[in-house]
Structures are given as structure tokens and as C-alpha cells.
Amino acid sequence: MIEVQGLTKRYGTNLAIENVTFAVEKGGVVGFLGPNGAGKSTTMRVIAGSLGASSGTAKVGGFDVAENPRAVQALLGYSPEVPPVYTNMTVRDYVTFAATIKGVEDVTRATDRALDRVGLSKVGGKLIDHLSKGYRQRAGLAQALVHDPQVLVLDEPTSGLDPAQRVEIRELIRELAAGDRTVILSTHVLGEIEAICNRVIVINRGRIVVEDDIKNLAAAGKTVRLELARPSAEARTALAAVAGVESVELTGSTAVVRSESDLREQLAAAAVPFGLLELGGRERLEDIYLRLIGAQGAA
């Protein structure tokens, strides 16, 4: 549904993103994860057609964003980090305006449906200026949804919200992703990815670091690292013999052991004869993320 190939954006001599390449299949929620300044918003804006790329291509539904912007806009709904709301308009008037400029045939019906989907039906007559930040985020989502797009691009949808509002928006995004709709959202908060997404793309310093399913990253975290003073084939065999161990990789003095359950106590006992120097804890997704980012350095 989304194909990005060799995407690069320069601002003078500064590279915001460089050779960004990834693909998002139809359906599900994909998290675009990275520290502040990593290039998330730049990439999202290029995909949405609000920013031109210096080189590379971005396609949505097979249409090139640069060559067929109207076709892409018909398929895609975009909500930037700061919702593009007009605070002197009522919620209903704003969403109606969005429906009109997007060429929706039955504007009233589309507006009612969008307001209902994001839980704004009861405040449709209120000025946006009088809404909380959480409700303004919902108004931004309503304008992105009003033409019933196949793809939603959401840039930091929970930015600046309190914990209760974050939970509300997360639940809303899950509901919006039901069926065949594709949702790609950017965030620098790992918890958002774990709570909402089934796939993650990690970006740092303008480059893609990893692209994988959440379950695969979680599986990669079921490892323990041991440092041995006397590494050997016998040490590897002893660790592999511990009940429940799935695999053992021995590189230099470091043994990496994968298992479904926590076997640190048993592994420590097996490693003592080989001079156990250090036993690390099992990696969490947060540990994996920090390791990936640390490999390049924070942006």
C-alpha cells in the first residue's frame, strides 16, 4: 500500500533523511519509531504530499506522490503533529469544510460519520478554540478520515496528551485500523508502538535502522548474554545442554543464549566452570530499541 524507495530530503547542506526505503502492506498499524529529530516527520510529510523530496520516490496505492498527488490524496488521510484546525470554527463546520475541499459527494453524511467515529458528535457545535488538546487531536483525525481513506498517516498523534488522553487516542487508532485500512503513525515513545502497532520501522539520524514485526523483535529479546573467561566448544555444549535452551551462539568470549523462559540461574551454574565473568539480563523491547539507536548514536 505504501512504497518508499531511496527517499532523501536535503535542506541546504543538511540531510534530514537519506536513502529511506521501506514498504507497508495493506491493513494493520505500522509504527514509525525514532528519537526527536530522527527524520520521522519529514518522511511522513513526503508520503502525505505536503513536502517534496530531493530524490527518491514515495507511492501510495501504486500512485507516485509527486506525479499523481490528487490520486494519492483520495486514498490518504493525513494528520500532522499539530492538527491543522481553525480555532474560530466549530468542530462540525471545520470537518464539513475539510469534506468539501476533499470533494466528498455527500458532505453532511461524511461529516456525521467522521464525527461519530472519533467521538465528537456531542461537541460538534463547540468552537475548536474551546476544546481540550485531546479533542483537538480528535478533530484533526476527523478531517483526515472524512473522505474514508484507505491509508491514514498520523504524525505523533498522542504528542502532548495526558495519560488518559493517550489511552483514548490509542483505542481510537485501533478501531480505525480495523478491516483493510492501513495506518502508519510516527512516535518517539516505544510504549505507543507496543500498545498499538503490529509492525515497527525504526529510524535514526535520517536512516532506517530496522524494519520488522513486533513479535519478531520481542522474540529477539528472549536472549541472555554471558561473558566467559575460558570460552570453548565445551562451554557452548554445556550451555546448550541446559533444559529449555533453544540456541547458543559463541563469539569470542561472549555466549548469546536464546530461550522462551528465564533460565539465568541454570545458565550461570553451567557457565561457572568456564569462568563466568558476567551474566546479562533478558532484553526488553526498550533494550533492543536503545541498542539499535546506540549503534548509530542519538540524532
84 neighbors 95 (Cβ within 8 angstroms): no
pLDDT at 298 over 60: no
Per-residue model confidence (pLDDT) at position 40: 94
- With 0-12 / 13-18 / 19 or more C-beta atoms within 10 angstroms meaning exposed / middle / buried, residue 166 is buried
Query: pLDDT band for position 16 (50/70/90)?
Result: very high
pTM for this predicted structure: 0.77
Distance CA 106, CA 100 (A): 9
Q: What average pLDDT is seen over the chain?
A: 90
Residue 84 makes CB contacts below 8 A (sequence gap 6+) with 140, 143
Distance between CA atoms of residues 94 and 90, nearest Å: 6
CA–CA dist 79, 159 (Å, integer) = 12
Domain ranges of the chain: 2-214, 222-282
Q: Scanning the structure block, which residue is given the C-alpha cell 568456564?
A: 274
126-177, pLDDT tens digit by residue?
Answer: 999 999 888 998 999 999 999 999 999 999 888 878 888 888 888 888 888 8
CATH number of the domain at 222-282, out of 1.10.150.120, 3.30.70.141, 3.90.226.10, 3.30.70.100?
3.30.70.100
pLDDT of residue 221: 63
Strand order in the sheet with 63-64: 14-24, 2-11, 55-60, 63-64
The label of the residue with cell 529529530 reads 37
- How much is the CA Rg of the chain, to the nearest whole Å? 23
Helix, strand, coil fractions of the chain, as percent rounded to 5: 40, 30, 30
Q: What is the CA angle 39-45-50, rounded to 5?
A: 145
pLDDT band (50, 70, 90) for residue 297: low
The one-letter code for the residue type at 164 is A
pLDDT band at 48 (very low <50, low <70, confident <90, very high): very high
Mean pLDDT of the region 97-110: 96
Given a cut of 80, whether residue 296 has pLDDT beyond it is no
- For 3, counting Cβ atoms within 10 Å of its Cβ (0-12 exposed, 13-18 middle, 19+ buried), the class is middle
**Cell matching residue 215:** 513479535
Per-residue pLDDT tens digits for 232-291: 999 999 999 999 999 998 989 999 898 878 888 999 999 999 999 999 876 677 777 777
Of the chain, the percentage scoring pLDDT greater than 90 comes to 63
Q: Coil, strand or helix: which one is 241?
A: coil
How confident is the model at residue 256, as a pLDDT?
Answer: 86
Contacts of 255 (CB under 8 A, 6+ apart): 225, 226, 227, 228, 231, 235, 236, 239, 248, 249, 271
For residue 3, is pLDDT > 70? yes
CATH class, range 2-214: alpha beta
Cell numbers for 181: 485500512
Residue-wise pLDDT for 194-236, tens only, equals: 888 989 999 999 999 989 888 777 666 678 889 999 999 999 9
One DSSP character per residue, 38-53 reads: SSHHHHHHHHHTSS--
Report which secondary-structure segment, H or E, holds 56: strand 55-60
